[in-house]
Amino acid sequence: MPADRLKVRDIGGGYEVLDGADDLGRCGSIAEAAQFVRERGARLWLDWGRTVIGGQTAPHDFSASFLGSDSVGRILGEKYGPSAGTWAWSISTHDSRWRKHGGQRGREATKEAAVAELEREFTNYLADPVKKPV
């Protein structure tokens, strides 16, 4: 069964796509690596941790990083109001290695679904670089 999440590693001058310890391929750019992952029906496996604001971890709040960057996205469990029990997700990155974020966001019923959707959208975001005018 093919993996639904694949790791990408910077190998200096390119990127290696991994399924566990198995090297699936090497790519010359991050866009090519994201396309390679997407063509296999997978998404990038981001690194997740608790969101820290002012030195305090925020409850029901998790940030994703990629290739050692600062946060590239976030999921937040809604505790109150009509959205209580759902999870909001958004892509937000200012890392100069890739273009600035496009504001992708959404809401899912579970934390796992929010992680999957953010990772899928981030994969698409990197795989589809903005075309420059000719």
Domain span at residue 103 reads 5-127
Q: Rounded mean pLDDT of 19-31? A: 93
In the chain, the number of structural domains is 1
Six token digits for residue 41: 């029906």
Cα(53)–Cα(116) distance, rounded to whole angstroms?
24
Residue 133 lies in a domain: no
pLDDT by residue (tens digit) across 58-94? 889 999 999 988 889 999 999 999 999 999 999 988 7
* Total-model pTM: 0.89
Residue 132 lies in a domain: no
Contact 17, 5 (CB under 8 A): no
Residue 100 lies in a domain: yes
Cα(98)–Cα(76) distance, rounded to whole angstroms?
24
Contact 72, 64 (CB under 8 A): yes
Six token digits for residue 118: 């953010």
What's the pLDDT band for 132 if we cut at 50, 70, 90? very low
The pairing of strands 87-91 and 105-108 is antiparallel
